[in-house]
Amino acid sequence: MLIGENIADRSPAIKKLYNLISKVAPTDSTVLLTGETGAGKGVFAQAIHKLSKRAEGPFVSINCSAIPESLLESELFGYKKGSYTGAASDRKGLMEEANKGTVFLDEIGDMSLALQSKMLHVLQNGEVRRLGDNESKKIDVRIIAATHKDLWKEISLGKFREDLFFRINVIRLQIPPLRERREDIPILIRVFMEKYNKEYDKDVIRVSDEVLSVLMHYDYPGNVRELENIVKHAIIFSEKGIITKADLPSGMPEPALLEAPKGDVSEAKRILGESYETIAGMEKRLISETLQKAGNNHTIAAKKLGVSRSTLWRKMKEYGIEK
């Protein structure tokens, strides 16, 4: 478990997912993450990387749907000087850049059949060939792929290669949508409040009961990404250190029109707290309490926290915790 990750208050679905990730991460198996757009597949891909034996290596992410096919090939595989107009020098592709690390192929279901064929070659042979090159280069990477599409349906439509599907579908993890894990909403609110307080130099420390009720009821068609945007908007417009209904984006439901609670608002208030504690504050407190329980034995404390002694020392220095 990563320091500061408050698993105790997470939803059963996410606890189960983290348990699976802890088993999958140490292996080199290819992983396919499925789930709706915005559900947080990229976050879980990074978690797998950080908990793997490749954690010290690069984590390279590329969104296959965001880059035109003509550019995606050169981005992934690189090119030789003179291979096309504008190729003034040799250039490594992202697959080579990620050597000894992890490549995250987001929205792989949008990759063209031609590129799927090349990706299949990478998975089968562990090598890449730059555009315009006659020789292949061996690489050592782990592939994590993600999609919001039904790949079986894409296969039946002739839009996705069945052999590539079987290569990437070694370990499949389904990321549940936010509406099915409402217990995670207050924790995510805290994370995003800390992020945007820091980014915009704000000091918003509370969420009004009215707003919390709205956020716990909302169904989030855009999932975690939508919640993040809502909190970002609220932080920008908040003027009194508390997020009120007036700070939310237009189009959010009115509290008076809400049905019976879909999420436990009282539990959410407990997690958020009357006064907002930052994730950094939680981390500092966790380290201090663990050191105290371990009799200030750094080796024991590091083991209990699930980190190396060097990481513990770095965190102690960062937070001004006496040795």
Q: What is the CATH number of the domain that holds 32?
A: 3.40.50.300
Partners of 172 in beta bridges: 32
Interatomic CA distance for residues 238 and 245, integer angstroms: 10
Q: Residue 269: which pLDDT band, with cuts at 50, 70 and 90?
A: low
Question: Residue 284 sits in a domain of what CATH number?
Answer: 1.10.10
1: in domain: no
Lowest mean pLDDT among 33-47, 129-143, 169-183, 262-276: 262-276
Interatomic CA distance for residues 162 and 25, integer angstroms: 25
| DSSP-based three-state secondary structure for 289 | helix
Residue with tokens 């993040």: 228
Structure token digits, residue 102:
């992890």
Please report the sign of the dihedral spanned by the C-alpha atoms of residue 37, residue 39, residue 42, residue 44. negative
Q: Which of 143, 176, 209 is the last residue of a domain?
A: 176
256 and 115, same structural domain? no
Cα–Cα separations (whole angstroms), residue 199 to 120, 150, 184: 41, 37, 23
115 and 235, same structural domain? no
Residue with tokens 């001004």: 320
Beta strands in the chain (DSSP E): 31-34, 59-63, 78-79, 91-92, 102-106, 127-128, 137-138, 142-147, 171-174, 206-207, 242-243
- Predicted confidence at residue 264, as pLDDT, reads 61
Cα–Cα separations (whole angstroms), residue 57 to 105, 137, 141, 316: 17, 18, 10, 24
2: in domain: no
Interatomic CA distance for residues 203 and 214, integer angstroms: 22
Q: Please indicate whether residue 155 or residue 92 has the higher confidence score (pLDDT).
A: 155
85 and 68, same structural domain? yes
Report whether pLDDT(291) > 80.
yes
- Predicted confidence at residue 132, as pLDDT, reads 74
Which phi-psi region, left, alpha or beta, contains residue 209 (left: φ > 0; alpha: ψ -120 to 50)?
alpha
235-262 pLDDT, tens per residue? 999 988 899 999 999 888 775 545 544 5
311 and 287, same structural domain? yes
Question: What backbone phi and psi angles, to 5 degrees, belong to 154?
Answer: -65, -35
Mean of pLDDT over the chain? 86
Mean pLDDT of 183-205: 91
Nearest to 152 by CA among 34, 234, 275: 34
Q: Is 288 within 8 Å of 294 (Cβ atoms)?
A: no
Structure token digits, residue 24:
């999958």
Report whether pLDDT(278) > 70.
no
Number of domains composing the chain: 3
12 and 57, same structural domain? yes
- Those residues with Cβ within 8 angstroms of residue 37's Cβ, 6 or more apart along the chain or in another chain: 148, 222, 223, 225
Report whether pLDDT(76) > 70.
yes
190 and 155, same structural domain? no
131-170 pLDDT, tens per residue? 877 788 999 999 999 999 999 999 999 999 999 999 999 9
Q: Is 289 within 8 Å of 229 (Cβ atoms)?
A: no
217 and 147, same structural domain? no
Q: Which of 176, 211, 241 is the last residue of a domain?
A: 176
Report whether pLDDT(185) > 60.
yes
Report whether pLDDT(130) > 90.
no
Q: Which of 176, 194, 211 is the last residue of a domain?
A: 176
How, if at all, do strands 78-79 and 91-92 pair?
Answer: antiparallel
**Could you tell me the residue range of the domain that residue 294 belongs to?**
280-319
186: in domain: yes
CA–chain centroid gap for 3, Å, is 16
18: in domain: yes
Biggest CA-to-CA distance, the chain: 67
